[in-house]
Amino acid sequence: MGVKFTKMHGLGNDFMVIDAINQSVELGSEQVRLWSNRNFGIGFDQLLLVESTQTPGVDFRYRIFNADGSEVQQCGNGARCFAKFVYDKGLTDKTEITVETASGIIVLYVEDNGWIRVNMGPPNFLPHSLPLSVPSEQETYELKVDGESFEVGAVSMGNPHAVLRVTDIRQAPVNQYGPALESHALFPERVNVGFAERVDDTHIKLRVYERGAAETLACGTGACAAMVVYRNWNEVADEVTVSLPGGDLIVSWSGDRSEPVWMTGPAITVFEGETTDV
């Protein structure tokens, strides 16, 4: 028996989405890697698994697997696709959807225009939350790789992010230094690396080298991380347009660490399919 799936994307960050409520699915890392292959498989940045939950007041459980087969805690673009999937498939008729993830509870809102607004929860700057192996929190941290030194801000948006300033996003050394920064010794569980150009106080341009997936066309948690790091540096306003290679997201945060980050953007269904084997 094959597995029915839906191919989706959020600003070009693409996903294989599987309903594991109405069909039996057993996943291993090797299977995920085979499906993720863009030449011999389906091809995707992440696989999203929709599961039922036993947690009171929660509608679904949401699991995320990178293209390399590793399971991760959170994915912002994936969360928007998750909301559109369960709503379009009739798994719920709610426009406010509460979802359990490996990093906690998130709330997804289906807007009238079809966009999805996500309550990403408060950002966490504490080093142990990423984890980041330093003795205390700082506004910036120095990372040395390949003889170069980079100053980064670091935050957890349910998954770890390092954000560094660049003056020209087109010339950002994403592929040159992204792999080494992702696997830097100070981040024992690796890190997503955002190369961020501040245009003005309401606009950031961003490219992200994602943990376990290399550079993607868009990263929702990366957009949130870039905004909150710049907001923490008092360099942007409470609402910012974050422009990624795949398109724009709207991210808002008051600067109060007890308040949630809000992310709004599109989610698109590309096609339906069924695998020939599992």
Q: What does the pLDDT profile of the chain (278 residues) look like in tens digits?
A: 799 999 999 999 999 999 999 999 988 999 999 999 999 999 999 999 999 999 999 999 999 999 999 998 888 899 999 999 999 999 999 999 999 998 889 899 999 999 999 998 999 999 999 999 999 999 999 999 989 999 999 999 989 999 999 999 999 999 999 999 999 999 999 999 999 999 999 999 999 999 988 898 999 999 999 999 999 999 999 999 999 999 999 999 999 999 999 999 999 999 999 998 65
User: Is 75 among the catalytic positions?
Assistant: yes
pTM across the whole model: 0.88
| Cα 200 from Cα 207, distance rounded (Å) | 17
Do 253 and 259 touch, CB atoms closer than 8 A? yes
| Whether 136 and 224 share a structural domain | yes
| Whether 160 and 46 share a structural domain | no
| Whether 109 and 217 share a structural domain | no
* Selection from 60, 72, 87 nearest residue 219 by Cα: 72
| Cα 102 from Cα 62, distance rounded (Å) | 8
Can you tell me whether residue 22 is helix, strand or coil?
Answer: coil
Domain count, the chain: 2
User: Is 219 among the catalytic positions?
Assistant: yes
CATH code at position 103:
3.10.310.10
DSSP E strands in the chain: the ranges are 4-10, 13-19, 46-51, 60-66, 71-72, 96-101, 104-110, 116-119, 141-145, 148-156, 160-165, 192-200, 203-210, 214-216, 239-244, 247-252, 262-265, 268-274
| Whether 132 and 20 share a structural domain | no
pLDDT at residue number 277: 66
Residues 6 or more apart whose Cβ sits within 8 Å of residue 185: 133
Residues 6 or more apart whose Cβ sits within 8 Å of residue 19: 4, 50, 85, 89, 91
| Whether 109 and 178 share a structural domain | no
| Whether 32 and 111 share a structural domain | yes
Residue with tokens 């959807």: 97
| Whether 218 and 140 share a structural domain | yes
Quick one: three-class SS letters along 90-115?
CCCCCCEEEEEECCEEEEEEECCCCC
Give the range of the structural domain holding residue 91, as residue numbers without chain letter: 4-121+266-274
- Cis bond upstream, residue 123 (ω within 30): no
| Whether 25 and 94 share a structural domain | yes
| Whether 136 and 98 share a structural domain | no
| Whether 13 and 50 share a structural domain | yes
| Whether 235 and 143 share a structural domain | yes
| Cα 116 from Cα 146, distance rounded (Å) | 40
* Selection from 211, 152, 146 nearest residue 180 by Cα: 146
| Cα 270 from Cα 247, distance rounded (Å) | 16
| Whether 133 and 249 share a structural domain | yes
Q: Which of 48, 67, 75, 154 is catalytic?
A: 75
Q: Which of 27, 130, 132, 219 is catalytic?
A: 219
Residues 6 or more apart whose Cβ sits within 8 Å of residue 226: 161, 163, 194, 196, 204, 206, 242
DSSP 128: G
Do 220 and 229 touch, CB atoms closer than 8 A? no
